[in-house]
Amino acid sequence: MKKLHLHPGLAAFGALLSLSAAAHAAILLGNYPQINNNLSFSIGGQFQLAVSFTTPNQPYDVDSITLRLSDYTSALDTPAVGIYTDNADAPSTTLIGALFTNPNSPSTGINDFPFNANGSVPLSANTKYWMLVDASAGSFLWRASDSDNPNPRTPTGDATFGRFALSFDNGASYNDPNTAPYNFLHTFQINATAVPEPVHVSLAIGIALLAFAFYRRMMVAKRRET
Ligand SMILES: [Ca+2]
Ligand SMILES: [Ca+2]
């Protein structure tokens, strides 16, 4: 029986392509578990709250956002959670992709709520963005730990934390909740998948084509010998 041989050039191409396309889900930024349930900020009406971060040297696609909330019932409250570009160290009005899908909540208790991406939320490398937590109807509480008790927990992940920013005038101006008299560390996590950079993919294809060309030359040389 004839043994099936995988073309070395094709094998190299496949291996490199799968290597470059290997995506991994990661915590882009977060501060779970919460230190305590001491504080909260009301989202709704003119009140909204955002957190900034800068992506590392790689593009990402946001998969979901987890927020620790209370007084959120899906029958009465409509959160508006999205990722926005930066405008002079404050959220701009430019939304990346669409608003996230609001989870169901039958009760007002404290819970960790997953907001799933509604389609692609693509983030560029080395770029500052804002996750904005707003409401288009009703109101709810974004739970926060008291950062002085027992110690501060700066959000960490693949991205670099910027700052929290709260607005009492529907985004016209923002205040920092971590300068006196505020000490809020709002509990959240942004989950994202690293996207392979186009330069890596084209490099992989280039190497595979070189390997294929080398293989063909070897075959031609072999045929000349025989
Ligand atoms: Ca409510
Ligand atoms: Ca608002």
pLDDT tens readout for residues 66-116? 999 999 999 999 999 999 999 999 999 999 999 999 999 999 999 999 999
Kindly give the distance from the C-alpha atom of residue 44 to the centroid of ligand 1, in angstroms, as a whole number. 9
Query: Which ligand has its closest atom nearest to the C-alpha of 42?
Result: 1
CB 145 within 8 A of CB 38: yes
Ligand nearest to the CA of 50: 2
40 CA → ligand 2 middle, Å? 17
Nearest CA-CA partner of 102 in 145, 66, 143, 148? 66
pLDDT tens for residues 190-224? 999 999 855 555 566 666 777 767 667 766 666 66
Residue type, 24: H
Q: What residues sit around ligand 2, an ion, with C-beta below 5 angstroms?
A: 48, 134, 170
In three-state secondary structure terms, 210 is helix
Helix (H, G, I), strand (E, B) or coil at 9: helix
Measured in Å, residue 170 CA sits from the centre of ligand 2 at: 4
Using the mean position of ligand 1's atoms as its centre, give its distance from the Cα of residue 75 in Å.
Answer: 9
Q: Which-ligand-closest: CA of 77?
A: 1
* pLDDT, the chain, mean: 85
Counting ligands in written order, the one closest to the CA of 81 is: 2
**Block residue for tokens 């392979």:** 196
141 forms beta bridges with 42, 70
Tell me the CA–centroid distance for residue 168 and ligand 2, in Å: 9
3-state SS assignment for residue 207: helix
CA 92 to ligand 2 centroid distance, Å? 13
pLDDT beyond 50 at 20: no
When pLDDT is cut at 50, 70 and 90, the band that residue 16 belongs to is very low
Contact status, residue 117 vs residue 100, Cβ threshold 8 Å: yes
Residue 151 in this model has a pLDDT that exceeds 50: yes
6 vs 11: CA distance, rounded Å? 6
Ligand 1 centroid distance, CA of 47 (Å)? 13
- Cα 44 to averaged position of ligand 2 atoms, centre (Å): 6
Three-state DSSP at 158 gives coil
Q: Are 49 and 133 in contact (CB under 8 A)?
A: yes
Q: Smallest Cα–Cα separation from 79: which of 111, 107, 113, 121?
A: 113
Residue 26: the pLDDT is 95
Distance of alpha carbon 88 from the chain centroid: 21
The better pLDDT of the pair 210, 15 is held by 210
What digits encode the pLDDT tens for the residues 173-190? 998 766 655 678 899 999
- Using the mean position of ligand 2's atoms as its centre, give its distance from the Cα of residue 51 in Å: 15
Crossing angle for the helix pair 8-20 and 198-225, to the nearest 10 degrees? 170
CA distance 100 to 85: 16
